[in-house]
Structure 1
Amino acid sequence: MRADIQQLLFERPELRQYIRQHPNWYRKLSRDPSQVPLLEKEANQFYGRTLPQRVEKVQNSLGLVMMMMEMLKMGQASVTGAQGPS
């Protein structure tokens, strides 16, 4: 493998880990080093760093927060309802 590709992998441990999990990239990069952007794109997709994946994570988090807020509201309503009128 070329020295510049090795240096890139040394500087970016997440790419190095991705290549270890997908060894076919050793061959691809050795034959065609210009495929580094494709490697980065696939690694980002694998690690969930694409824009649609990030948006989905935010939506899931917001859904969880909204559900927790509803549960808290229901809990407060049952506590205040159990005490009766003052």
Structure 2
Amino acid sequence: MRQDIYEVIKENEDLLKLLRMQPYWHRKLMRNPQLLEKLNTDAVFFFKKSIPDRVSKFSDGVQFASMMMNMFQAMKTPSS
């Protein structure tokens, strides 16, 4: 593997993890170093760090907090 490609991979922990989990990327990068951007994109989607994934995670958190607030309010209200 080219040294400059290897340095970029070493700097990004997600790329290094993906390369270890899916070794076919090593062969792809050896043959075609221009696929580094594709590797980066695949890593973002593989580790669920894309914008839609982050929005979904945030939405789930807000929904959970709302449910907890409603539950606490229901517990606080005296039953008749």
TM-score over 0.5 (shorter chain): yes
Name the residue aligned to 2:48: 48
Distance in 2 between residues matched to 1:15 and 1:28, nearest whole Å: 14
Q: Does 1:7 align with 2:16?
A: no
Q: Which runs of 5+ in 1 are unaligned?
A: none
Number of residue equivalences: 80
Shift of 1:26: 0.3
Kindly indicate whether structure 1 or structure 2 has the higher relative contact order, using CA contacts under 8 Å at least 6 residues apart. 2
Q: Which runs of 5+ in 2 are unaligned?
A: none
**Coordinate RMSD, CA, aligned:** 1.1
Shift of 1:10: 1.4
Name the residue aligned to 1:28: 28
Q: Does 1:61 align with 2:73?
A: no
TM-score using structure 2 length? 0.94
Q: Give the letter for the 1:14 counterpart.
A: D
Name the residue aligned to 2:71: 71
**Max Rg structure:** 1
Q: Give the letter for the 1:25 counterpart.
A: W
Shift of 1:47: 0.9
The worse-fitting range, judged by mean Cα deviation, of 29-38 and 9-18 is: 9-18
Shift of 1:33: 0.4
Identity within the alignment, %: 31
